[in-house]
Amino acid sequence: MKKIISVVGARPNFMKVAPLHRAFQKYNDSIEHLICHTGQHYDEKMSKIFFEEFELPEPHFYLGVGSGSHAVQTAKIMVEFEKVLLEEKPDLVIVVGDVNSTVACSLVASKLHTPVAHVEAGLRSYDRTMPEEINRLLTDAISDYLFVTEKSGIENLKREGVDDSKVFFVGNVMIDTLIQLLPKADDSNILKKYDTRKGDYVLATLHRPSNVDNDTFLHKLGDLFEAISQNKKLIFPVHPRTRSNIERIGLNGHLSDNVILSDPIGYIDFLHLTKNAGLIITDSGGIQEESTYLGVQCITVRDNTERPVTVDVGTNQLIGTDLEKVTKAAMEVLSGNKKTGSIPELWDGKAAERIANIIFERM
């Protein structure tokens, strides 16, 4: 019996590990698949929702590291994860995405000579001011299996000298979860809660510190929201830190009733909002992918993206952080000038099955 430990830490990780856990059940006579939750996302209520929505078992290990600077959080994860590996002696550690838990657990496993598999490998923004870019580069450099979501990842890894034998183009596990939960999402009543209908609202998700910790950006964001709210309702699920910034500068008092600042929303309700939005304005990597699969118009408020297939093939427009340009692009879409797109190769709901099969054959 081979033992595999998959790591979850922050919100995007849950939806990536869930299909992997299901895929490994096919091999439960020969593979024991365990889940380690680092506690990087430390909101207990939200973590519980993630496990329930994604039909994950209770984590076998919970490290409880909580918040802190990048250095403090990464160090805490490494110290606690090392204890798990020394006790459990797994045959493989699987990490997903690009959060601090990803790089911390990869480093610990590598130094203990435990093979590492990186799911969502090879993505590059080429912006080293982003902590996620550093996490991606370091994790890929020490991984033994690199599972790639789009062909740009293959090209990036080849350019960095990674041996072809380690690289596998398998598709996107996030899309596996989206496809699996879409029927549940279709039954959501979230639009009634916000008194809106399909296509009659804009969905905004902005969380990157470079955006939402900048007072000038937030004031201009208020102008963007006001411009949109003249014609459409705007729904903005707000991270607690972003909400405190908005309240500190008094922006919330100047927004129209057509702008809804909501608390964070669970995945199933959020998927319903994503599928039925007239437009999404985001700085999130995952939402670029989900909107592309669903054929929903998306404007990305960043100067770069590590997911270029969403622009080259999908419905995503990379506009940058100049919110006047974002406003112009949004008005173009809302007036009917929409970008056509298609679903990228291998985004078919079977990525996790491919990954589990590759690992089973090689372990």
Question: Choosing from 207, 219, 254, 272, which is the catalytic residue?
Answer: 207
**In the predicted model, is pLDDT for residue 45 greater than 90?**
no
The residues near 124 (Cβ < 8 Å, ≥ 6 apart) are 133, 136, 137, 152, 153, 156, 306
Q: CA-to-CA distance for 1 and 32, rounded, in angstroms?
A: 7
In the residue annotation, 272 being an active-site residue is answered as: no
Residues 149 and 230 in one domain: no
Cα–Cα separations (whole angstroms), residue 229 to 98, 223, 248: 34, 10, 22
pLDDT digits (tens, 9 = 90+) for 259-311: 999 998 999 999 999 999 999 999 999 999 999 999 999 999 999 999 999 99
Enter the DSSP assignment of 86.
Answer: H
In the chain, the number of structural domains is: 2
Residues 16 and 151 in one domain: yes
pTM above 0.85, yes or no: yes
The rounded mean pLDDT for the chain is: 95
pLDDT digits (tens, 9 = 90+) for 215-248: 999 999 999 999 999 999 999 999 888 999 999 9
Residues 210 and 102 in one domain: no
> 36 is in which domain, residue-wise?
2-171+347-362
Is 24 part of a structural domain of the chain? yes
Alpha-helical (H) ranges within the chain are 11-24, 44-53, 70-88, 100-111, 131-142, 151-159, 173-186, 190-193, 209-212, 215-229, 240-248, 267-276, 285-294, 309-312, 323-334, 351-362
Sort 77 into a burial class: Cβ within 10 Å, 0-12 / 13-18 / 19+. buried
CATH number of the domain where residue 35 is located: 3.40.50.2000
pLDDT at 48: 74
Paired residues of 316 in beta bridges: 298
- Residue 316 in contact with residue 300, Cβ under 8 Å? yes
pLDDT at 239: 85
Q: CA-to-CA distance for 168 and 177, rounded, in angstroms?
A: 20
User: For the sheet containing 298-300, what is the strand order?
Assistant: 259-262, 233-237, 201-205, 279-282, 298-300, 316-318
